[in-house]
Structure 1
Amino acid sequence: MSADNNLDLVIRHADVVTASDRFRCDIGVRGGKIVALGHGLASARQEVDASGLLALPGGVDGHCHLDQPMPDGLRMADDFFTGTRAAACGGTTTVIPFAAQEKGHSLKAAVADYHRRADGRAVIDYAFHLIVADPTPAVLHDELPALIRQGYSSFKVYMTYDDLKLSDRQMLEVLDVARQHGALVMVHAENADCISWLTDRLVGEGRIAPRFHGLARPAVVEREATHRAISFAELVDVPILIVHVSGKEAIEQIRWAQGRGLKILAETCPQYLYLTAEDMGLPGEDGSEGGYEGAKCVCSPPPRDPENQAAVWRALTNGVFSVFSSDHAPFRFDDPHGKKPGGKEQPFHHIPNGVPGIETRLPLLFDGVRRGLLSLHQFVELTSYRPARLYGLYPRKGTIAIGADADIVLWDPMRKVRIANGNLHHAVDYTPYEGMEVTGWPMTTFSRGEMIVRNGEYLEPSAGRGKFLEAGLPEL
């Protein structure tokens, strides 16, 4: 082999897996892009032997929360540095967190603030979703269309949470803007009034431990809101994506809509495959039943039961779900700005919702490949290819192909790892998956051709090397 000074990197003997293909070759990289796929490529400045490993497209985490402004003195543990560091160590090379509008404030101002939070911090590439919490005429007619043109082509709306929820009329108005401009709306589907009524009853009865969070948000409130969101999408004639689907009742609504030819997409997350309602009722440090340790697993919708876990796995396999995201919401447990607001154990309805998972997302799903619950190609499709397409980043992201960014992860499919928070790279003081053993782990991560993780060791790349990505329109 002759030297080719034009190649910065060659990954040799790669067993490449994409959403549709599997082949062996050398991968040549120049200027951060994949420029050659072949055998016997000329030598390069850096050479890596991938023998015995899988070469997968870097993960695209299409739903995570980093340094998002929070109310009432709360604060997320991960900023753009610690969050993207953890993502890279977990095999993810692109993240899409949320620029969240506050009621009474400008959406454009929220985007500007989020850029300030990200600039100089991220170690991998990132795009932004928007959160539309106050769809005023100015937002609907001016700000939102302009932002879509500027590369913010997906936005999330909420049907619950007092500071975020939209009325049915507002939902329709936002969906209509998406239809006119080709954007994609993500929907958090839970019925706010049902949750409020159930919460008031539980609190009135003194049932306030973390485990009662699940009783305040039963499957029926997710099922009803999912059906309502689908009906709105049908009325407006626009695709939507239902996020963090927790179980069979919402899945049935989505499958029903898809069977009628409606463009209803869906996402699920690791917590609905590995956690159950019992995890919110973990014993306290004193051994008491239903102790505060369960706050670590409080998220919305809540984890349900093994039957619902099985339904989520089936829906991943049979195509109901388009994407698998972390919904990383990083609150420290023992923190007055986190799961113990004000430094005290709180009733369930005052516990910040969300669990960390940006680093463990891919290994947890990959273990399902090992157990025969989905194929390698489905793994790549759910975690990289489809989110890249849906959120306007393909073909730059989401595949291994000539012209794509050299975002490549070398996986050891046989490596057994027992998950321990002490070995993770986020800034959260726990993982809900502590002690779980998985088979398959990302060993080496390249972001635009730069090795930033080697054999599981984070290499301290420069904070701020990650680039902001202007998203194109969704490819459905």
Structure 2
Amino acid sequence: MTAPVYDTVIRNGVLGDSHGHADGDIAIVNGRIAATGHDLPKGNTEIDAQGRLVLPGGVDTHCHIEQLSGAGVMNADTFETATRSALHGGTTTTVSFAAQHPGMRIRDVLVDYSILAAAGAMTDYAFHMIVADTAGDNVDDLKTAIADGHRSIKIFTTYDKVRLQDNEILTTLRTARDAGALVCVHAENDAMIRDATATLLAEGKNAPRYHAQSHPRLAEIEAIERMCRFSEFTGARVMIFHISTKEGVEIVRNAKARGANIHAETCTHYLFQTEEILDRPDSAKFLCSPPQRLKEDQDALWAALGQELELVTSDHAPYRMDESGKFRHGSDAPFPKIANGQPGLELRLPLLFDAMVSSGRGGLAKFVELTSAAPARIFGLKTKGSLGIGKDADLVIWNPERTHKLPDALHDNVGYNPFAGAVLTGFPETVLRRGEIVVDNGELLTWPGTGRHLDMAAVR
């Protein structure tokens, strides 16, 4: 009897990535994709994917996990609970934040987060380094961290605990440019937000529904424009996070046309929610920054996908609806005292699959490009994001016909689902991470600490 050639063969599926799709089989050896084609030799494990799509695992490059926020509130999710939720939704790689606050050494922050992730993560993972303090030895720490493979930096233009001044931003951009790193920016004008908030509170408008007005669209517009100009001035490579406005898209389009080294993303909630959701009685669930915008903004974001907006992330920012999270300052707290963010790791791929693949708003190749291929490519995650030979066998077997109603709570530790009750078509039935089945028809088959840290390669 001939010995099996492969560890695993997935047969009879439709193999799809950002380049297209075709019927075929895919074989795995030592956790990597070894072959694709038809009638491949036998594997030790055989999986029949008849009637199913076999796609790369999701790569979510914007997740807040086990992190103290800029407002001083701890996330509800640990690395265990967040990555458990990610796997159930078909995401096999996460990039979350190692959050420096003023007075902390960057090197110490990275050690602390690395210990937490190594113990709890079930996805493969990497970090963005939040830089909130460039004083002392922190610039040297940053250079060392980049050389060690931490090639993504996050900076904020707002929030008291993490906001950088323009001179500090320029220092960070030049450091990243010289060391081959990417700088991601939360771009909103702090003074405009403060002014709008003070005006609303003085008028007695303190309910959650006024949150959107407290983050005026001009605050995003000004800061995105400024960060694009800073990128041009320094030559640094910059990613603008969570664009929510049509003007933001236009600014990125113009910057790219001028030759600026700019990338940009949007997030699931901006594509599927508008600011009208803040009129609901439970609106605290949906507060996020920047806030949801108008239908015309949403339409502009959809039109820009795969062009100005190169990827879609979750911006998973999990806070429970209790005193540990959203209502740290009481259930009747004014909107500036309510923690911002909503869970999204588990929902990103199913929501987008339903819209882009099942409903045809973009198609299969663009779905994979936005959720797997582009994030892996832009952030230098060389073994992720495609079905190419030699890539990690992070695979999701989707049932494209299966409909499912989203439950009231997910597999995270948040306790609510912002899209509860929605009926979606397309379900991630089987999830493989490096060739190992980690979720099968809703059952988790792995355990905390099995995720691996990923270095980011230099991308110019």
Distance 2:24 2:445 in 1: 29
Report the alpha carbon displacement of residue 242 of structure 1 after superposing the two structures with TM. 0.4
- The offset of 1:327, in angstroms, is 0.3
Measured in 2, the distance between the counterparts of 1:232 and 1:70 equals 25
The equivalent residue for 1:325 is: 313
Who is 1:306 aligned against? 295
**Corresponding residue of 1:239:** 237
- Which residue of structure 1 aligns with residue 424 of structure 2? 438
1:274 equivalent in structure 2? 272
TM-score (norm 1): 0.94
- 2:445 corresponding residue in structure 1: 460
Alignment-derived partner of residue 389 in structure 2: 402
> 2:70, 2:160 within 8 Å by CA — same for their partners in 1?
no
When structure 1 is superposed on structure 2, of 42-51 and 208-217 the one drifting more is 42-51
In the other structure, the counterpart of 1:470 is 455
Q: Counterpart of 1:185?
A: 183
Matched, 1:297 2:286: yes
- Judged with a 3 Å threshold, the aligned counterparts in structure 2 of structure 1 residues 37 and 72 are, in CA distance, closer, same or farther, namely closer
1:332-343 to 2 correspondences below 5 Å: 332-333=320-321, 335-343=322-330
Quote the Cα distance in structure 2 between the aligned partners of 1:74 and 1:387: 28
- Alignment partner, residue 433 of structure 2: 447
Deviations 1:172-204 (A, max 9, x none): 111101110111000111000100111111112
Separation in structure 1 between the aligned mates of residue 285 and residue 267 of structure 2, nearest angstrom: 16
Inter-partner Cα distance in structure 2 for 1:120 and 1:161: 30
Identify the structure with the greater strand proportion: 2
Rounded to whole Å, the distance in 2 between the matches of 1:373 and 1:220 is: 29
Q: For residues 397-452 of structure 1, what are the alpha-carbon distances to aligned partners after superposition, in whole Å with 9 as ceiling and x for unaligned?
A: 11112111110001122222222234x21111111111222222211100011101
CA offsets per residue over residues 286-317 of structure 1, 9 Å max, x none? xxxxxxx1111100000012111111111115
Is 1:18–1:377's contact at 8 Å kept on the other side of the alignment? yes
* CA distance in structure 2 between the partners assigned to 1:108 and 1:421 by the alignment: 40
Partner of 2:48: 49
**Corresponding position of 1:138:** 137
2:64 is paired with a residue of what secondary structure?
coil
Aligned equivalent of 1:170: 168
Matched to 1:432, the amino acid is P
What SS does the corresponding residue of 1:96 show, helix, strand or coil? strand
Instruction: Give the 5 Å matches for 1:76-115.
Output: 76-115=75-114
SS in structure 1 opposite 2:416? coil
Partner of 1:152, secondary structure, is coil
Deviation digits for residues 125-171 of structure 1 (CA, Å, limit 9, x no counterpart)? 1111110011125222x111110011100111001111111111111
SS at 1:465 equivalent: coil
Are 2:100 and 2:129, in contact at CA under 8 Å, matched by a contact in 1?
yes
Asked if the contact 2:245/2:293 (under 8 Å) is kept, the reply is yes
2:329 and 2:5 map into 1 onto residues whose CA distance is 57
TM-score, scaled relative to structure 2: 0.97
Displacement of 1:23: 2.3
Within-5 A mapping of 1:150-229: 150-229=148-227
1:18–1:56: 8 Å Cα contact kept in structure 2?
A: yes
**Structure 2 contact 97–128 (Cα < 8 Å) conserved:** yes
1:250 to 2:235 alignment: no
Q: Which residue of 2 aligns with 1:372?
A: 360
Of 392, 395, 419, the match for 2:380: 392
- Partner amino acid for 1:303? Q
Cross-structure match for 1:416: 403
Residue identity in the other structure for 1:446:
L
Matching residue's letter, 1:206: G
Q: Provide closer, same or farther for how the CA distance between residues 407 and 202 of structure 1 changes in structure 2, counting only shifts above 3 A.
A: same
In the TM superposition, what is the alpha-carbon distance from 1:323 to its structure 2 partner?
1.2
| Superposed displacement of residue 376, structure 1 | 1.1
Aligned residues of 1:3 and 1:44 also touching (Cα < 8 A): no
Q: Is the 8 A contact 2:10 2:46 kept in 1?
A: yes
Measured at CA, do residues 193 and 89 of structure 1 come closer, stay the same or move farther in structure 2, by a change above 3 Å? same
Conserved? CA contact 1:73–1:337, under 8 Å:
no
Q: Is the 8 A contact 1:275 1:303 kept in 2?
A: yes
- Find the aligned partners of 2:69 and 2:263 in 1 and give their Cα distance: 28
- CA shift in 2, pair 1:343/1:197, >3 Å: closer
Question: Secondary structure at the residue paired with 1:119?
Answer: helix
Distance 1:3 1:458 in 2: 33
Amino acid at match of 1:273: L
More off after superposition, 341-350 vs 123-132: 341-350
Give 1:119 shift. 1.9
Letter in 1 for 2:287: V
**In percent, how many aligned pairs have the same letter?**
43
Distance 1:73 1:192, change over 3 A: closer
Using the TM superposition, give the Cα deviation of residue 343 of structure 1 relative to its aligned residue in structure 2, in angstroms: 4.3
Letter in 1 for 2:455: E
